[in-house]
Chain A
Amino acid sequence: MSYSVTAPSSRTKLLSGLLVSLYALVTLAPLLWIIATGFKSGQDSIHYPPKVLFEPTMEGYVNLFTTRTRIPSDAQPRDPESLSWYEQIVNDKGEMIAGPSKYGERFLNSTVIGFGSTALCMLLGTMAAYAFSRFKVPLKEDLLFFILSTRMMPPIAVAIPIFLMFKNLGLNDTYFGMIMLYTAVNLSLSVWLLKGFMDEIPVEYEEAALIDGYTRFEAFIKVVLPQAITGIASTAIFCLIFAWNEYAFAVLLTSGDAQTAPPFIPTIIGVSGKDWPAVAAGATLFLVPVMVFTVLLRKHLLRGITFGAVRK
């Protein structure tokens, strides 16, 4: 046979492999550039032509976590021996550390709000998904569609009344408000995904448990939950990533106490203008956890991004 769709020739394979590798290289270049820029000095980052090889420095990371001022010209020069490694980096540029930056706080806010909303979302989502999967719920199809349709609204459109509501309730710029909001946003995803995972668990297991004298609730906790644990874990990672990445609500509803990292990172500036290494360092710390999670999640990725509509 000279050709076949089901068993491609080794030449076809090689050519496809090369083309896909080329695409991967192009598509990963911006991400590698972010990581590399984080380790560049200010001058190297804006060098022409762009520098692929450079001497790595922690300058960007130090700048990310600190605020700095220029050392006044009449100040006593400080003894380099007495400075810690990060103070030296700043000192070499004629600046001194004025205090910590807000990045740590913003990162912590993202973590608290991300994990908080994910936990709540999983609790509510698992219960609702189990009910939708196993029981006759009146208007089931309508309720499920209603849950999905909440995703179609542009966030900005919902943000107007939520802004007013949160203002009246004093929830603007609070952890509680953001956790409730992100939980509501992610519920549609978690209910749909978890229902799919639970539909795949044979009902026979529970029936056996019920015959053995378990109540429905016990059967849910002791039989269904352990079976669904991989599904629950991957759904949780999806909810976490969405909450982690969310920008529109965060920028409108938070400004200080509960501001997350996505609205904050673009506002990072240095002593004189935009400090790209610091921005890149902040972005790297923020994006790398998601990259790791994506690799862990690869088997369930398709399911997650299509709300369970496509299962491999």
Chain B
Amino acid sequence: MLRLFVDKIAQKTPVGVSKHVQGLSDKKLAWLFVSPTIILLLAINIFPLIWTIYLSFTDYRVNRPNRDVKWVDLRNYERILTDSDIWQTMQATAHFLVSTLVLQVLLGFTLAFLINKKFKGNDLLTTLIVLPMMLSPAVVGNFWTFLYQPQIGLFNYVISFLSGVDPSSFSMIGDVHLAPWAIVIVDTWMWTPFVMLICLAGLRSIPDSIYEAAECDRASQWRQFWTITIPMVLPFLMLAVLFRGIENFKMFDLVVQLTGGGPGSLTTLSSIDLKREAFEKWKTGYSSAYAVILFVTVFGLASIYVKALNKVKDR
């Protein structure tokens, strides 16, 4: 049906227009095709980025548009890098990043390894397991606050059922020791399938002949796992870590709905802190500098990581 639709468009294009477009050389057509995308990205991505960099050197505040804007050199950057609260949010972000990555890699790889045993119905189960990661993090995160309710929440009930702890005795979101793990659990629940899918692709890319050759050489299964499976899946696993790392560094929606950054500022990740500075305290210049620092950090870490990834791939 879609095919018919495309044909119809082709026929319906007015002769004048189509003549005009059809007469173009390949080079002109290429530019005609690429430029709308580039223009839109320049307008909505690059222009704002440049503006952010400019604002980061000023003391501009959106809520006081009539005040003179002063150029403050690097003072915003200085204030941010020496602020101990910001280092605390960086620590919270790092804790979140490292714990989610470790858990998701372990769980995701194990699942992929099991699914790759090709038992009956593995396709169906894969599709079911994948569902959480496709859903709206804000909507799902909000509902998890219900699951985490002391006493009535399903999560607390299940934990108390399994461990015997009173379900009203702990609050995943309110407790200072538990809250950082509450966000890790939900993120892991949501994104383990992502790592699993990529690992599965890696496992399936290993040709059977390699294992067969190893078996002829009487290599033990344990040895095959460490010398064939792991090295061949590693580039895939590293790619999964790259994607999850970037996403979780930017994490906002899920955690904001889940804990709102609390208790205190224990789960205030960088993006949440930035949102407060920019859209609640309206410190536009200051938060622009904050944004630039975050962007440079992601970009820098990602570049170093991609270099390492390419080395592993080439090996």
Our verdict on whether A and B bind, yes or no, reads: yes
Q: Is B312 part of the contact surface with A, judged by Cβ < 8 Å?
A: no
Q: Which residues of B contact A247 (CB under 8 A)?
A: 136-138, 252-253, 257
Is there contact, CB below 8 Å, between B37 and A125?
yes
Interface residues of A in 1-58 (CB under 8 A from B): 1, 3-6, 8, 12-14, 16-17, 19-21, 23-24, 27-31, 33-34, 37, 46-50
Q: How far, in Å, is A23 (CB) from chain B's closest CB?
A: 6
Interface residues of A in 214-256 (CB under 8 A from B): 215-218, 221-222, 225-226, 229, 233, 241, 244-245, 247-248, 251-252
Scoring A156, A262, A286 by chain B CB atoms within 10 A of each residue's CB, the highest score goes to A156
Is there contact, CB below 8 Å, between B117 and A159?
no
Q: Which of B3-11, B68-76, B171-179 contacts A (4 or more CB under 8 A)?
A: B3-11
Is there contact, CB below 8 Å, between A135 and B10?
no
Q: How far, in Å, is B94 (CB) from chain A's closest CB?
A: 15
Is there contact, CB below 8 Å, between A279 and B143?
yes
Among candidates A13, A27, A283, residue contacting B129 with C-beta atoms closer than 8 Å:
A27
Contact mask for chain A residues 280-298; partner B; CB cutoff 8 A; 1 contact, 0 none: 1001001100110111001
Give the dominant DSSP class at A's interface: helix
Bound together, the chains give a CA A293 to CA B120 distance in angstroms of 24
Q: Which residues of A contact B229 (CB under 8 A)?
A: 5
Q: Which residues of A contact B288 (CB under 8 A)?
A: 160-161
Among candidates B49, B125, B193, residue contacting A158 with C-beta atoms closer than 8 Å:
B49
Among candidates A137, A183, A262, A293, residue contacting B136 with C-beta atoms closer than 8 Å:
A262
Is there contact, CB below 8 Å, between A265 and B142?
yes
Q: Is A104 part of the contact surface with B, judged by Cβ < 8 Å?
A: no
The 9 closest A-B pairs by CB, nearest first: A157-B291, A161-B48, A184-B44, A17-B119, A135-B30, A215-B22, A247-B138, A247-B253, A131-B33
Among candidates B136, B140, B200, B252, residue contacting A156 with C-beta atoms closer than 8 Å:
B252
Q: How far, in Å, is A187 (CB) from chain B's closest CB?
A: 6
Is there contact, CB below 8 Å, between B52 and A160?
yes
Q: Is A180 part of the contact surface with B, judged by Cβ < 8 Å?
A: yes
Is there contact, CB below 8 Å, between B291 and A33?
no
Q: Is B2 part of the contact surface with A, judged by Cβ < 8 Å?
A: yes
Q: List 24 A-B contacts (CB under 8 A).
A: A17-B121, A20-B111, A27-B129, A27-B192, A27-B193, A48-B152, A127-B34, A135-B27, A150-B45, A152-B299, A153-B295, A156-B252, A160-B278, A162-B48, A164-B284, A216-B29, A226-B3, A245-B137, A247-B137, A251-B138, A279-B143, A290-B135, A306-B243, A310-B236
Bound together, the chains give a CA A306 to CA B142 distance in angstroms of 26
Contact mask for chain B residues 231-266; partner A; CB cutoff 8 A; 1 contact, 0 none: 000001001000100100110110001000000000
Interface residues of A in 191-212 (CB under 8 A from B): 191
Among candidates A33, A160, A266, residue contacting B55 with C-beta atoms closer than 8 Å:
A160
Bound together, the chains give a CA A187 to CA B294 distance in angstroms of 23
Chain A interface extent, by class: 35 or more
Q: Which residues of B contact A290 (CB under 8 A)?
A: 134-136
Q: Which residues of A contact B41 (CB under 8 A)?
A: 146-147, 150, 184, 187-188
Q: Is A77 part of the contact surface with B, judged by Cβ < 8 Å?
A: no
Interface residues of A (CB under 8 A from B): 1, 3-6, 8, 12-14, 16-17, 19-21, 23-24, 27-31, 33-34, 37, 46-50, 124-125, 127-128, 130-132, 135-137, 143, 146-147, 149-165, 167, 180-181, 183-184, 187-188, 191, 215-218, 221-222, 225-226, 229, 233, 241, 244-245, 247-248, 251-252, 261-263, 265-266, 276, 279-280, 283, 286-287, 290-291, 293-295, 298, 301-302, 305-306, 309-310, 312
Q: Is B287 part of the contact surface with A, judged by Cβ < 8 Å?
A: yes
Is there contact, CB below 8 Å, between B48 and A291?
no
Q: Which of B77-85, B97-105, B207-215 contacts A (4 or more CB under 8 A)?
A: B207-215
Bound together, the chains give a CA A233 to CA B151 distance in angstroms of 45
